[in-house]
Amino acid sequence: MRKALEDTARALHAESPAFTRKNLLYAVRRSLSASVSEGDFDVALRKRLAKGTLPGLLPARSRWRPRPLPREWDAYFPKVVLLVDRPAILDLFIASGAIATTRLAVVCLDGSPAPVVSWLERGFKAGRQVPFVYLHDAATIVYPFTLEPLASLVAHRGEEALVYRDLGLPPLGANARRFDDPSLPEGPLIFELEALPPATLVRFGALSAQRLIPLDFNMLPLTHDIERRRPEHARP
């Protein structure tokens, strides 16, 4: 397993700036086409890490401490918010660099990063409104509308006015082919987000979130027929 672990970690890092321990576990299982127990994997990983770090492997707990966001950030409110169910998924999105390039804010159900949650909450109380995407494992059964920052948006806009999409894995699992990744074998059921390659997971979350951003007709080239693209209720 030692060679498979090294080769798999190298392949993951070539596709993504970072990956989690479970990303690596599932990737090793795919590379060996065998059932590798989590215990055996942990033993092999500890022995490897005793010799040095694995490039791209995220620590079990994030060590970053975000600073309070200055008020200037209010002028750069995100276009969409992605809510995830676990800190490991949050760390993966932060390390991937997807947040900085997509005007995407990512927050976790546990209230982290606290400065970002406070920033969003302040914006919603001031009347800002953005779509929400909720990404979670099959085992996560949480009603997020009572948690911040979503609670502030619901309190000021109501659930009916909220643009919201649940992209979590359904309780019975989801076919891997829905993620359109050729590295995944056909047919298996995916119950954990980290079973997906990190690049696939980040791309799926970011693109799904971006699809909820309302179209700005002023950004279309003049050659486009805006009237044909504009919703019926928006036409004069």
Residues 167-222 have pLDDT tens digits of 888 765 554 445 656 566 565 677 889 999 999 899 888 888 888 887 655 555 65
Look at residue 26 in the predicted model and tell me its pLDDT. Answer: 93
**Which residues span the domain enclosing 37?**
2-49
> Which residues of the chain, if any, have pLDDT below 50?
175-177, 226, 231-236
Say whether both 148 and 78 belong to one domain. Answer: yes
**CATH number (domain holding residue 179):** 3.40.50
Quickly count: other Cβ atoms within 10 Å of residue 55's Cβ: 13
User: Does residue 233 form part of some domain?
Assistant: no
Sign for the CA dihedral angle at 24, 30, 33, 38 comes to positive
Cα 184 from Cα 31, distance rounded (Å): 10
Q: What is the pLDDT of residue 127?
A: 85
pLDDT score for 235: 41
pLDDT of residue 221: 61
Is the domain of 77 the same as that of 44? no
| Residue 96 shares a structural domain with residue 196 | yes
* CA distance linking residue 145 with residue 75, whole number of Å: 25
What is the C-alpha R_g of the chain?
20
- Report the C-alpha gap between 41 and 4 in whole angstroms: 11
Tokens in use for 29? Answer: 């299982």
Same domain (yes/no): 137, 194: yes
Residues 81 and 184 both lie in one domain: yes
Both 29 and 75 in a single domain? no
pLDDT of residue 181: 60
Same domain, 78 and 149: yes
C-alpha 182/C-alpha 180 separation (Å) is 6
Task: Report angle CA 196, 150, 152 to the nearest 5 degrees.
Answer: 165
Q: Do residues 156 and 79 both lie within one domain?
A: yes
What pLDDT is stored for residue 83 in this prediction?
A: 95
| Same domain as 163, residue 78 | yes
Are 20 and 135 contained in the same domain?
Answer: no
The whole-number pLDDT of residue 207 equals 87
Nearest Cα residue to 190 out of 208, 212, 206, 167: 167
How many angstroms separate the CA atoms of 67 and 85, rounded?
22
* DSSP letter assigned to residue 224: S
Whether 60 is covered by a domain: the verdict is no
In a domain, 57, yes or no: no
Q: Give the whole-angstrom CA distance, residue 153 versus residue 211.
A: 20
155 domain residue, yes or no: yes
29 plus 81 within the same structural domain: no
Domains of the chain: total: 2
Clarify whether residues 75 and 40 are in a common domain: no
Q: For the chain, first and last CA: distance in Å?
A: 65
In whole angstroms, what is the distance from residue 123 CA to residue 166 CA? Answer: 22
Residue 151 covered by a domain: yes
